[in-house]
Amino acid sequence: MAAGIKILSMMMSLIIASISEITPWVFSNSEASGNAVMLDAACFDSVLSIPSETFFENKDVEAETPEIITAVAESVEVTTTLHTEIVEETEETTEAETEVSTEAETEASSEADTLYKLFSITSEMMWPVAYKSEIVEGYPRYSSGRTHHGVDIFVEGVDGRNYDGNGNSLSYGKPFRAAQSGVVVEAANNGNWNTGYGNYCIIDHGDGTQTLYAHAKVIGVSVGDVIIQGQMLGEIGETGNATSPHLHFEIRIEGDRVDPENYICEP
């Protein structure tokens, strides 16, 4: 029994000595962790008693895939399918929103047409000044011969003059009105030159026709305002290229200036 123990002890010593010679780094490296044993290829071959290449070649590469890997693969497949469904739904939603947007634009355009028709009290244009008044300078030229794109309207007194006994203008500060219903597309009330118009506004009447009112003391409307025929737009002044208070009035059809006297008559 003692002899057997002695022989077993000698065999263990030989094995430890053999491993120590094969893996000197593990036993001599002071930086090695006590819980980590690092074996190189030579040590691996020695412990297994067969070359590492042979071990890996004989390994069954078609072994069953671990359950955790299978689960991850299935998850990826489900995620990909879900992503595809989301993309398809998004595309369908985008198309639906586009259709709604187009319908909204059509409705807005229809509403604008309705407003023009609703507020067009009469197909004839109204004289833009609500006082006894007259055209002093006409279209297409001033009396001096210079080009004139509209007509200049002055308020007239009972004696036919445009000024009172003290020489003050009868036009200054008097209100002027919309000749026809429409929407304000331009408006300036800053007192600047504004290409000679001074304070002015332009109304679009929805049928290719626009009217312009210029040299105002003040403009009381803004771009986007819906205007009813006869609505007051501002007060007569002499801003911009004006030598005396009056209303400069233009009519434009498809962008071309025309003679206002062909569309309105003096009261």
**pLDDT, position 21:** 46
pLDDT tens by residue, the chain, 267 residues = 555 555 555 555 555 444 444 444 433 344 433 333 333 343 334 334 444 444 445 444 444 444 544 454 454 454 445 545 544 554 454 444 444 445 554 554 455 554 544 444 456 899 999 999 999 999 999 999 999 999 999 999 989 999 999 999 999 999 999 999 999 999 999 999 999 999 999 999 999 999 999 999 999 999 999 999 999 999 999 999 999 999 999 999 999 999 999 999 777
Is 1 exposed, middle or buried (CB count within 10 Å of its CB: 0-12, 13-18, 19+)? exposed
Domain 133-262 in this protein, CATH class: mainly beta
Start-end of H helices in 120-235: none
CA distance 152 to 138: 7
Spell out a b/e string for 51-63, using b for 16 or more CB atoms within 10 Å of the CB, else e: eeeeeeeeeeeee
Which helix (H) or strand (E) segment is 216 a member of? strand 209-219
Virtual torsion, Cα 190, 193, 198, 204, nearest 10 deg = -90
HSE (CB half, 13 Å, CA atoms) of 54? Answer: 7
Contact by Cβ (8 Å): 241, 196: yes
Is residue 175 helix, strand or coil? strand
pLDDT at 267: 74
Beta-carbon contacts of residue 140 (< 8 Å; ≥ 6 apart): 147, 148, 149, 257, 259
Q: How many CA atoms lie within 13 A of 125 on its CB side?
A: 25
The confidence score (pLDDT) of residue 189 equals 98
d(CA 233, CA 6) in angstroms, rounded, equals: 123
The closest of 210, 219, 227 to 121, measured between CA atoms, is: 227
Cross-strand pairs, 247 = 153
Residue 150 near residue 264 (C-beta atoms within 8 A): no
The pLDDT value given to residue 122? 55
User: Which amino acid makes up residue 203?
Assistant: I
Domain boundaries, the chain: 25-63, 78-119, 133-262
Contact status, residue 188 vs residue 222, Cβ threshold 8 Å:
no
**Both tokens of residue 96?**
């639906």
